[in-house]
């Protein structure tokens, strides 16, 4: 028995999940010995677990004998996404009704933000976000909120890998400027999008962090003509309450 008491649970399942997560972190592919190094487990143990996961399609063996995430995870991920949206719907609706503008929920999917739920605002001219749509992180409210919730190092690494292209006159494309922006968001608690992705769209976004869950962000967005400073001022406390409600609904 190890000197310290690890988190309770079924040992081999814990280890299998560790392996999945190592494979995820590795991205391109991961050898059995690399997994052993990453998890601290002996090779035969890894091998046995990997066999099981591969047989079920949760891992895939590449021609060079390394392993990567398997496609059986795709429908599971999609299912989890759909459920998230379902649970969040009432919270979003209340937020949208209270402020009059569309409310959106996004999760971090890979290196983009994916909208998983949306409640339309009350006006006929409003922003419309398609559930399932993925948008860049650096030039959207939810994206910047998600980045701010990650560590500074991780955010920097993602931004380095991204192509920072100019969508509008206000898009921030300098790495340093973006990092400053993230620091400001962390200090303030929420992010603005001043038409950085699409001209005339203003957005207030807040990171939602629920322990043990993928990072999420909640936002309210609408035409800049209606998204006055007054409205964004009222949006902030409403978002705080909605985040708390979400945390409760999803826990």
Residues that bind a second copy (CB under 8 A): 7-10, 12-14, 16-17, 20-21, 24, 27-28, 48-49, 51-53, 55-58, 60, 68-84, 86, 107-110, 112, 114, 132-134, 212-214, 216, 250
**Residue among 47, 87, 134, 167 that touches DNA (CB under 7 A):** 47
31 or 52, CB closer to a second copy?
52
Which of the stretches 41-49, 107-115, 161-169, 171-179 binds DNA when contact is defined by CB under 7 A? 41-49
**Cβ 152 to DNA, closest distance in Å?**
33
Q: Give me the residue label for tokens 């590449």.
A: 62
CB 124 within 8 A of CB 162: no
43 or 122, CB closer to DNA?
43
**Cβ 209 to a second copy, closest distance in Å?**
12
What is the number of alpha carbons within 13 Å of residue 22 lying toward its C-beta?
Answer: 23
Crossing angle for the helix pair 43-55 and 11-26, to the nearest 10 degrees: 80
For residue 1, the partner it binds in DNA, a second copy, none, with Cβ less than 5 to 8 A by kind, is DNA
CB 140 within 8 A of CB 111: no
Is 90 near DNA (CB under 7 A)?
A: no
CA–CA–CA angle 116, 16, 108 (5° rounding): 20
Q: In what order do the strands lie in the sheet with 191-194?
A: 134-135, 112-119, 102-109, 216-223, 201-208, 191-194
Is 10 near DNA (CB under 7 A)?
A: yes
CB 221 within 8 A of CB 203: yes
Which positions lie near DNA, rule CB under 7 A?
1, 10-13, 15, 31-33, 41-45, 47-49, 51, 64-66
């Amino acid at each position: 028995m190890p000197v310290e008491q690890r988190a309770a649970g079924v040992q081999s399942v814990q280890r299998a999940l560790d392996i999945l997560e190592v494979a995820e972190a590795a991205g391109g592919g991961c050898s059995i010995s690399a997994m052993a190094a990453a998890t601290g487990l002996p090779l035969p143990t890894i091998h046995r677990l990997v066999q099981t996961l591969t047989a079920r399609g949760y891992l895939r063996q590449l021609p060079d004998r390394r392993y990567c995430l398997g496609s059986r995870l795709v429908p599971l991920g999609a299912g989890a996404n759909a459920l998230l949206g379902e649970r969040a719907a009432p919270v979003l609706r209340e937020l949208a009704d209270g402020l009059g503008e569309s409310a959106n929920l996004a999760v971090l999917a890979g290196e983009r933000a994916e909208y998983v739920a949306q409640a339309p605002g009350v006006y006929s001219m409003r922003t419309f976000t398609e559930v399932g749509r993925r948008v860049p992180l650096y030039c959207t409210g939810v994206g910047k909120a998600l980045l701010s919730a990650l560590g500074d190092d991780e955010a920097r690494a993602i931004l380095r890998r991204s192509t920072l292209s100019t969508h509008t006159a206000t898009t921030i494309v300098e790495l340093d400027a973006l990092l400053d922006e993230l620091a400001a968001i962390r200090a303030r608690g929420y992010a603005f999008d001043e038409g950085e992705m699409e001209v005339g769209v203003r957005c207030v976004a807040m990171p939602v962090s629920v322990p043990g869950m993928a990072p999420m962000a909640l936002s309210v967005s609408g035409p800049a003509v209606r998204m006055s400073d007054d409205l964004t001022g009222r949006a902030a406390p409403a978002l705080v309450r909605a985040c708390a409600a979400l945390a409760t609904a999803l826990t």
